[in-house]
Amino acid sequence: MTDDSMSDDVFEDEVKPAPTPSPSNTGYRDYEPPPDLLNHYSAKKVEEDLPIHKTILLGDSGVGKTSLLVQFETGKFQSGNFSATVGIGFTNKVVAVDGSKVKLQIWDTAGQERFRSVTHAYYRDAHALLLLYDVTNKTSFDNIRAWLGEIREYAQDDVVIMLLGNKCDSGSDREVRREEGERLAREYRVAFMETSAKTGVNVELAFTAIARELRARSCQDQQQQDRFCVQEYVRDQTQKTTSCPPCNT
């Protein structure tokens, strides 16, 4: 005889499957990183997706191109002399401009004559060129016209050009007056300022001015493009900042 007195309730309680853990951004189950870490990675992703503006440092060997780039990238001056740049190297730097970001891919080129043909190949798709001379080396200034001739020959017609008189902290060692640099810049209709990779004077301003000009050119609003002039911006900003020591020659 079968015993039917046993309750069927024991068969009615079905075993429920364990809930599926929600996926995590990190790949680790149920781990959620802190918001500031997520914001950091989100910002990095945005920077990776920014359009790249190729910016090249040009000028004779020894004018301070590498030192200028290191000062801009790290905010520090590396004492001692750098070995001459061989060929070309580059770094990426994101510049904040009025709440938006501009990504500069900055190329540090060799100034020696034997590398000049290599440098020419990089002119063609450059968006901006920073042309340096050493205010304590008159020859490096005299060679600027030749550099500008090469730029006109190999670079795009609408490339942004800025002339920089570097090492303006040198005081009595100066061989090139500020007025000479300004006069040459006016002749070629390019922006000009004096910089010091050692003290940092106007280094960030130089790259910020370039970034602002490139941002204005990429703007769809023609009126906004017309409102910004890199020469006027540089002139106004350099009047507000601490200037380099005056020429004593």
pLDDT band for 11, please (50, 70, 90 cuts): very low
* Residue 19 belongs to some domain of the structure: no
The yes-or-no verdict on residue 22 having pLDDT over 70 is no
| pLDDT digit string, tens, across residues 181-209 | 999 999 999 999 999 999 999 999 999 99
> What's the pTM value of the predicted model, to 2 decimals?
0.74
pLDDT band for 106, please (50, 70, 90 cuts): very high
Mean pLDDT of the chain: 80
* Residue 32 belongs to some domain of the structure: no
* Residue 33 belongs to some domain of the structure: no
pLDDT of 228 reads 78
CA distances to 23, 68, 110, 168, 216 from 200, rounded to whole Å, are 47, 8, 22, 10, 25
The mean per-residue pLDDT over the stretch 215-220 comes to 80
* Residue 225 belongs to some domain of the structure: yes
The mean per-residue pLDDT over the stretch 128-146 comes to 97
Cα 146 from Cα 48, distance rounded (Å): 36
The values of phi and psi at residue 202, to 5°, are 65, 5
* Residue 23 belongs to some domain of the structure: no
Cα 216 from Cα 233, distance rounded (Å): 12
* Residue 28 belongs to some domain of the structure: no
| pLDDT digit string, tens, across residues 149-186 | 999 999 999 999 999 999 999 989 999 999 999 999 99
- What angle, rounded to 10 degrees, do the helices at 144-154 and 178-188 form? 20
* Position with higher pLDDT, 49 vs 206: 206
pLDDT band for 249, please (50, 70, 90 cuts): very low
| 44-48, 49-53, 123-127, 141-145: segment of lowest average pLDDT | 44-48
* Residue 152 belongs to some domain of the structure: yes
**What residues pair up with 89 in beta bridges, in sequence order?**
108
pLDDT of 232 reads 86
| pLDDT digit string, tens, across residues 110-123 | 755 555 566 677 78
The CATH number of the domain holding residue 167 is: 3.40.50.300
- Short-list 106, 57, 64, 61, CA closest to 200: 64
Range of the domain at 94: 41-240
* Position with higher pLDDT, 49 vs 199: 199
pLDDT of 49 reads 80
Q: What's the domain count of the chain?
A: 1
Cα 156 from Cα 229, distance rounded (Å): 19
pLDDT of 92 reads 92
